Structures are given as C-alpha cells and as structure tokens.
Chain A
Amino acid sequence: MTVSFTFYADAGLTIPATQVQASQATDGASAAVDRVVYYGSNASLKTLVANSNPYVDDIVITPVDSVPASGVQATHVKLATSQAGLAGATAGAALNLGPTILSGKENARPVWVRVDTPALSAAVYTDITLTSNALREENS
C-alpha cells in the first residue's frame, strides 16, 4: 500500500496532476511561468508525516534534477506555498510543508512552481521532478 497523498491539478483534489507543464523561450527572454499544484489526499482521516522522524521532521518537496548540469536544472525552478512567496524563494531549494499534513481538500497544500530558464536548445525537458522525502501515512 502506498501513501494516498499526491499532487493534484486543482484545489478540490479532483484531478490528479501527471505533470507540471511550462513553456519557455529558447533565448531565455520569456517571462517566468508560474504554476500551482496541490499536495493532498482525498482519503479519510489520514495524517502524512516524514518517515525519518515522524511529527518532527518536515515534509519537503525538492526539485530533483535527473540530469544535472544540462538542460533545465533545479536552479531554474523555485517552489513556494504561495505565488507571492515565489519572489523570495531560493532557486532550486526544497519547499518545506511542515511536519504534518492532514487529508481532505481543505488541508491540501498549494505548491507554487516558478520556471525560469536561461537560453536553452529547443526541446521538451523532463529531467526535473518534484519529489518528496520519504513519507509515512498514519490514521488520524
């Protein structure tokens, strides 16, 4: 059994997100693109905690680059829990969602993603993955 918490395209947690799509210009001059997905669970009475030290360690989302130093890199991505927070976010840094997340749409956490790439060759890059740390799901 896997954890029921996952990314959704909407705040109501009706459409699971399969990817975050953004378009950028090859010359690097296009404006940064902001996207938002929601991390939560529709399961009943569940609590998500970090598996390393439950209720103490934080749940974090990290932009992981499977092909470092080429294409889109983790430092081209910022994460924040609000769109306003993107401006002050550190490029490539993990997003801290706190030690617990309860299930239910009202408890879903927005994950804002800002993509701003420099000049790159035209291609579709999928080497960045927003990845959580090891998590544990418990009954609330």
Chain B
Amino acid sequence: MADPYINDVKALFHFDTVNPTFDNAGHAVVETGTVQTASVSGQFGDAVMDCANGAYVSITHADMVIPDNEAFTLEARVSVPTGLTVGSTTTWWIAGNDALAIGVTMALGDPDWYFTIRRDILIDLISPAISARDVLTHIAISRLTGSGNKLYACVAGALLALYESSGSPGSVMYFGNLPSSAFPGKVEEIRFTQNVARYSSPYTPPSAAFDDPVPTAPGAPTATLPLSVTVAAPVTGSSALPLSVTVAAPVTGSSALALRVSVLPAAYLSGIESVCMGDGQAAVWREIVTVGGVDMTAQLIGDVLVDAGEGQARISEFTLRPPDGTQLELAGWTGLPVTIDVADYSSGSPLYAMRLFSGVIDTPSLDKTSSTISLRCTDDLQGRCEAMSTAALFALIGGYESTAVFDKAAVGWDYAQDRLSTVPASLDISPEGEMRVTQWQSKVTPDLTLDASVVGDNSLRPQIAGRAQIVNEVLIDFGYRFPRVKAEGWPISWVYVDPMTFAQFILDENWFLQRQQIPAAISAAGGRIESITYDPLPNYIVPVGAGYFSPSSADLDLCQGFAAVVSFDYAQTTTETHHIAVRNQESIDRIGLRQTQISGALTGVYPDITATETGIRLYKDKSSGIPPADSAPVVAEKTSSADTTLTTETDRAAADAAMAALIAIAKAKIWASHRNNRISAAVPLIPAIDLDKTVAINADGIAARGKVVRVVHRMSSSNGSATTEFDIALCSVAGYGITHDEDPTAAPAGTSAGLSNLTGSVNITYNSGNTEDHQITIAFPGVEEIERANANPIISTTIAAPLVEDLFTVTI
C-alpha cells in the first residue's frame, strides 16, 4: 500500500549503498563516518548505519523546526548491540530548549529504550527492557495537534506513553552515534514526517523500506490544477475469422515407359525374308493387335488393313468380335492407342514380331447385328502436326521460310505444308509412331530387292506419267518495290570576266556581278550549295583605256565568277521485277517445255518517302532541325544513292528470302512432277517395306529402283493371306545415270545503291550589260535519264533445277 503521507515526508534515510539518504527540502545533511555498512538481521535494503564506528548524520531543519502545536512523526529502525553494558546513549536528538531525544539506557541493569521530551520540565520515559539484541526494532515519536498536544512514544507497534508536549525543539536533528552519547547500535529507515501523527494507536511495524517521496525543488512556486481522472471499466472483447487450411498430401509419383525390343533375324529386318513367306512350306503367321495396351488379337475377325502414303496419315482398319456378354464403353475407345504387329506363329507363340502400325482409334463403329466393332485407326499425322510448335516442325522438316510467300500466321499442319513445299521430301509417321521426313531421292543401294520369286505373277503395274503431269520450268515473277534516296552533286566553275577581258568589260560599261546574287540564283533553281568560292575582282590597279581601275573595299561584294558544288536531293521508288526461270534443261530437251508460273511480291515498308525527300531539303536549307533518317552522300559529278531503312520483314534480306523460297518451291514442283512414274507391286507381306525404303524390282522385264510412296499391308486370317501392296516412285526422264545440273537456291542479285556519273551540264546566264537587268540565271539539268530508268529495273535469271534419275527400264 502506498504511503498516504508521502508528500509530507521531509527526510528519509535508508542508509543503503544505492539509495542512502533523502532530503526533500534542500536541508544541509552532514554525514560523519561511514554511514552505510552491512549488516544486521532483518535489515531493509543492502546496508544500515553502524553507529559503533562513530557514524552519524545531522540535518539542519530550519523549516522543519517543530513548533508548538504542530504534528509530526519521527521514526526509525534501531538495533542494540549485544555488547552494550554500561551508561546511557542517545541515538536521536533534537537540540534546543525543547530538545527531544531517544536512546538506550542501562540505568535499570538491562538496556531499555528511553524517550526524553523537554520543555519546562524534563520528562523521561523508560520503556520495557530490550531483550532482543542486534535486531532492528521500529521506534517512533508521533505528536498530535489539538487539545493537549499529545505525543506518543512508540516501540515495535506499541504505544508506550502519552505526554503533553507543545515545545519547539531546536533546528538541528542528529541521528546515530552522537559524540556526546556514543550510541553503538545500528540504524536505518529514519523518516521525518511533518504535519502528520502517523501513530496514535497500536500499529503494525513496517515490514519494508519506506517509500521514497517525489522530490520537489525547494522554494519553487507551485500551482494546483484539479485533475479529474475517470477510471472506467475497459471495453473488452475479441474478433474471430475462421481460417480454413487444407493440408493435402503432395502429388507424387514416378513415370515409367516400357522399352520393347524385338530381336529377329537380320533377314527379316531387311525384308529378304518375312514371317509371311514360307520357306518351302506354308508360313504360319499371326497379327497381334493391342488396343489401349491390351492384346485384342483373339477377338479379331476379318482382315486387318494398314495403309500408308507419303504425306498422309497411316490408317488401319480391323474388326473385333468381343465375347457375348462383354460390357463395353465404346465411347471411351476413341483415342485409345493401337498397335499392330505381325509375327511368326509356327511355334504357337509369337516370334519375330514386327511393327506395322502405331496410332490411335479414330472411329469405332458398332454393328449390333453381328455384335462386331469395326475400328478405323490413324496415326493422326495432321493432329500431331497441329500440336507441334513451328520451331519443332521447322527442326523436323527444314526448308525455306518467308513471310512474303507464306502466311506468317500459319501454324501446325499448314505450317508443315508450307515447309514441305520447299523440300524434295515427304512427311509421315513410321510404323513405330515416330514422325519422320523421307527424302524423295532413292538410295543408290536399295534397302530391298525383289525379283520374280517374290513378286506375284502379273502383279507389277507400271504407270508412266503423262506429259501433262510434268513441269520442267517454273517461271517466277517476283516484284520488289522499295524506296531509295539520291543526291546529285553538280560541280560548277564559271567565270564571266578574266584578266584579259577585264578592262574591256569596264570600257563596255558592264556591271559586275554581286556575290549575293549567286546563292539566290542557285536556290531559285532548287539546288543547295555544298561548297562555294568566289573569284574576287583584282586587288591591284588595272589600266582601263585612258584611266585605271582602282580596287576598293566595295569590291568585296563583287566577283568575276565562282566555283561551287550544288546538290539536288530526291527520292525514288524502285520496283525490281525479277523474272526467274527455274528449269530442268534435260527434261525440256526430252519432253518439250512444260511450264507453269508462280509469283510473289514484296513492298518495302517505309514511313513516307515523300516526307523523307522533303525532310532532306528542309534540313539542308536549315529550315528544319530534324536530321533525315536516310540521305545519300553528295559526291561531285556523281549521282549517289542510298538504301533506306526498311522493316525486317520487307527489307532486302526479306526479298531475297522470298525469292529463295519461291525457287525452292519451283525446284520441288519440278522434281515432284518427274516422279509421277509409278510401279505398283504385290508381294507376300513384308513388314520391312515402308515409306522410308528404296526398293529395287527386277521381274517381268521391269528393272526399277525407287522410293516407296505408298504401302498397304493386308492380313486375312480367314484365308491365311498376308500381302503387301506398294508403289515406288520413279524419277525418270533422261535416263538412269544422267546427272542434272543444279544451281544454288538463292535469290538473284538485285539493284544496289551506288554512284553514277552526271552527264548533263549546268547553264549559267548573266545579263551584265549597262542597259540589261543584271540578273544571273542558273539552270540545272533534270534527273538523269539513267537514274529515271533505275526506277523499274527488270532482272532475269535462270536457275537449274535438279533431278536424280531412278532406274526404270522395261524389257518387252
């Protein structure tokens, strides 16, 4: 509990090392001896004043003089040492006529507290014997005001006696081992409280150090302001927002993909042998069909067909007859992966399996009557192209690109077709399901050679390409329109009077030409002066008839002629017309000209060439501070030209790429038209025959070697028939072994910026006569004809298109 009289405490001495003494009014406090020492049982804080060492404190308390009728309380905790045996000691003393002292006396044999209150008479009070030594005991004097001025002497919570006391003690208080009395005990917690009688009834002695008052500056003026503090019950409560946290197990797992390696004799891989060709006996084979990874071979009925062609999706068709009672979710079959193999089954289990098809179900059809499911499957060539990025397709196919020739927005299948149109190759998906590009050119060493022992009787069907199918020249018309800036640099060196004619010029009363007239005349002609120097009049005396010409400062404005370079800037839009003939001369020689045409055009994108032309003029005239984006350098006696900065899709490189793409298309067209010769054949099913193979045929008088362009495998378990029908393409025009020239697939050179000579002349007329107008006129030729002709150049080029001849002879 806080001290209710805290503000009335005028002095307080703890005698602790960190908080030794306190005086609240600036009184002089004198410490004598070591006033803080430890220790005694029950002490508050870390030290007490040990009076045995002669320590004491005094405080001059002029304003604390205890007047008559004033209340006060003086208190402390005091111990008496064990060794005290003689005399009386005083531990407190307030000097003066009304002195007040508290001490210990041995007058009665045992130590006793005694209190002395002196005024007119001496009043001594001796308390009961002090039995506990070296124990701090609370003792106090507390005086009431009012009737009788009661003063209580207090020891350890008991009121020992009551006296009337109205005296005023002296102005100095002493505490401790006073020199005159030699009190040997220990003291702490001395407190002087003014105007308050703290103890007027039995009390509980203090159990802790007294509270320290708040210091106030002595003599400082004070003011009071009522402070109203309303302590209200706090507004309490809480808010809640549910937080829903779903803790899910992470999605984990791993991926696995089976590697299926079919190991079989090399002869089967090459096609020399086949599981469907018996070796002196009937072949025992079996197709193996899986749907969604499940072997469905046992449910097959009817034929199994696999059909593949260059640039087409490989398809397969077969029919399943599920067991009665089988419950199927047919709608979910679309898109299921399908594989078809053919294998030797002579041992009762599949051997030498070879893949014929990898794809997905495109269309399942249910025949309720026969309880069969017909499946049409595809390798989804188009769909797979659609799903591929253009970068991936370009990496696969290659070829030429040009935004001027092809739709730059084309993606997927359309993009693939654009690229394929520029290469002599075809795109398909292998039986194993891999996208591939197969070159049209057949291999020198065929993958497979078939003779009459394999080729079915009369199965060979040659088809010779008709003339109408052949193209041996493709005319490409390509227009490229773009702007150029040009500058003419006209040199002028003109003199109208010289030293030989000078005197006569004056005698004839002619007028000299003002220098300032010359720039004006050039500007009037539309030219801009790049450089100019003037021929000054003589700076010496020249005899003229009977007189003399004497130079003067006025002559500096005149001249006898000048030398200058004058420029004319203009822009020109050039339209290059490229006639590119891509042709195969041997084919033309043999078959005659079979021509077709393709064309393309590109216009250079430039902000505004007219504005550029004007901008150059304004900048040179210093009428504008904006330098032109493009301008041609001025070269004397020349017309110089410079290309402008076009967008990357329309600049020269883009034009060259466009022409290269068109040339590539033309070459591919010519080659494609020359491989329309076909030989179709039917053989026992040979899985090795596929679109990437070159097959040589030597049977029925036909010797041919070409790339497979179509293959159809057909397996019919019902009659044990397994066949492969295929077509090979044969490029044959000039005969096997004939080589054809080929020029690079590159754009022909176009026109280029540069210099050309000026061929005209500048005409200058000066009317110098005395009666004439004294005007100079300068006339420049117009734009050179050769430059005007550069506006529409025609560039013709011939490019040799290659062919690689395939073997193809027929013996009747």
Contact = CB atoms under 8 A, between A and B. Distances in A.
Interface of A: 1-3, 5-7, 9-27, 29-30, 35-37, 39, 51, 61, 63, 72, 76-77, 105-106, 113, 115, 117, 120-126, 128-138
Contacts of A113: 259
Nearest to A65: B259
Given A105-B389, A128-B259, A122 B265 contact: yes
Contacts of A39: 255
A136 B392 contact: no
B380 interface: yes
Interface size class of B (residues with CB under 8 A): 35 or more
Contacts of A21: 260, 262, 339, 355, 358, 432-433
Interface string B203-232: 000000000000000000000000000000
A51 to B, nearest CB: 5
Contacts of B389: 11, 105-106
B256 A130 contact: yes
Nearest to B251: A137
B433 A126 contact: no
Interface in B254-270: 254-266, 269
B506 interface: no
Chain A CB within 10 A, most for which of B253, B261, B432, B434: B261
A55 B432 CA distance: 35
Given A12-B387, A122-B352, A27 B259 contact: no
A14 B383 CA distance: 8
A123 B263 CA distance: 5
A31 to B, nearest CB: 9
Nearest to A54: B250
B252 A19 contact: no
Contacts of A136: 250-252
Given A16-B337, A18-B258, A10 B266 contact: no
Contacts of A2: 251, 253
B433 A15 contact: yes
Contacts of B380: 14-15
B317 interface: no
Contacts of B385: 12
Given A19-B260, A20-B260, A10 B388 contact: yes
Interface string B430-473: 00111100000000000000000000000000000000000000
Nearest to A16: B337
Nearest to A17: B257
A9 B259 contact: no
B377 to A, nearest CB: 12
26 contacts: A3-B254, A9-B433, A10-B384, A12-B386, A15-B337, A18-B257, A18-B339, A20-B257, A20-B259, A22-B262, A23-B263, A24-B269, A25-B266, A36-B434, A72-B263, A113-B259, A122-B263, A122-B351, A123-B351, A125-B262, A130-B256, A132-B256, A134-B252, A134-B253, A137-B250, A138-B251
Contacts of A7: 255, 257
A86 B9 CA distance: 99
Nearest to A72: B261
B360 interface: yes
Nearest to A128: B259
Interface string B371-403: 000000000100111111100100000000000
Contacts of B256: 129-132
B433 A125 contact: no
Given A14-B383, A35-B432, A22 B259 contact: yes
A25 B258 contact: no
A115 B258 CA distance: 13
Given A10-B384, A11-B387, A137-B252, A23 B261 contact: yes
A115 B259 contact: yes
A35 B434 contact: yes
B263 A24 contact: yes
B269 A25 contact: yes
A70 to B, nearest CB: 13
B269 A135 contact: no
Given A1-B251, A2-B251, A51-B252, A19 B259 contact: yes
Chain A CB within 10 A, most for which of B264, B293, B337, B383: B264
B255 A5 contact: yes
Interface in B95-142: none
B179 to A, nearest CB: 86
Interface in B558-596: none
Nearest to A74: B259
Given A13-B387, A18-B257, 5 more contacts: A11-B387, A12-B388, A21-B260, A105-B388, A134-B253
Chain B CB within 10 A, most for which of A10, A51, A113: A10
B432 A22 contact: yes
B47 interface: no
A26 B358 CA distance: 23
B45 interface: no
Contacts of A3: 251-255
Contacts of A137: 250-253
B432 A25 contact: no
A36 B430 CA distance: 12
A128 B337 CA distance: 21
Contacts of A138: 250-251
B257 A129 contact: yes
A107 to B, nearest CB: 11
Contacts of A37: 257
Nearest to B343: A124
Contacts of B252: 3, 51, 134-137
B388 A19 contact: no
A67 to B, nearest CB: 12
Contacts of A131: 254-257
A46 B261 CA distance: 33
A9 B388 CA distance: 12
A129 B293 CA distance: 15
A78 to B, nearest CB: 12
A131 to B, nearest CB: 5
